[in-house]
Structure 1
Amino acid sequence: MIEKGELIALFQDAGIEATVSESDFGKTFKELDMDSLDVFNLLTEVDVVFEVQVPDEDFEIINSLDDLLQYINRGR
């Protein structure tokens, strides 16, 4: 099971400038000032590190870090 801290650590690896903490997991990517490229980079990093691919059609259902964390943990 992936923890919030592990997902936060991916931000630096993905080159995302947004700073997040565990209290930000309920906020949307837009509220975190993440653009579509930031989200794409994060999902790419998730694929590389956690070996969880997010198909294009699932991009629409992942709108926050909470959504992403649940998606990753369902796929493991």
Structure 2
Amino acid sequence: MNIFENINTAFSQANIDVVIDSEQQKDMTRTFKELGLDSLDLFNFFLELDALTGKQIPESEFDKIKNISDVIEIYK
């Protein structure tokens, strides 16, 4: 699975109605707040993404992740 598939699967498994289109640059730079996500949504999203990728991101890194581009950079 590529990173975009993992991201979209993690959103789906966390019951978040967001789909990222890898062809749309605006999807990469919109903040999580602009996507309508709150802190609980993000927590659940990262739990799912960690499980899918096998990579755990330390909580101290969460504040640095503001958009999908940041997620891609950290999880690649």
TM range (shorter): 0.7 to 0.9
Shift of 1:25: 1.7
Ranges of 4+ aligned residues in structure 1 off by more than 6 Å: none
Q: Deviations over 1:32-65 (max 9, x none)?
A: 0110111111100011111111111100111111
Distance change >3 Å, CA 7–CA 21, structure 1 → 2: same
Percent sequence identity is 32
| Residue in 2 that maps onto 1:63 | 66
| Secondary structure of residue in 1 paired with 2:63 | helix
- Count matched residues: 73
Structure 1 unmatched ranges of 5 or more = none
TM value normalised by structure 2: 0.81
Q: Are the aligned partners of 1:11 and 1:42 in contact in 2 as well (CA < 8 Å)?
A: yes
Return the letter of the residue paired with 2:52: V
Return the letter of the residue paired with 2:44: N
| Residue in 2 that maps onto 1:44 | 47
- Let me know the Cα RMSD of the aligned residues: 1.7
Matches within 5 A, 1:1-76: 2-22=2-22, 23=24, 24-73=27-76
Shift of 1:19: 4.0
Q: Are the aligned partners of 2:8 and 2:18 in contact in 1 as well (CA < 8 Å)?
A: no
TM value normalised by structure 1: 0.81
Structure 2 unmatched ranges of 5 or more = none
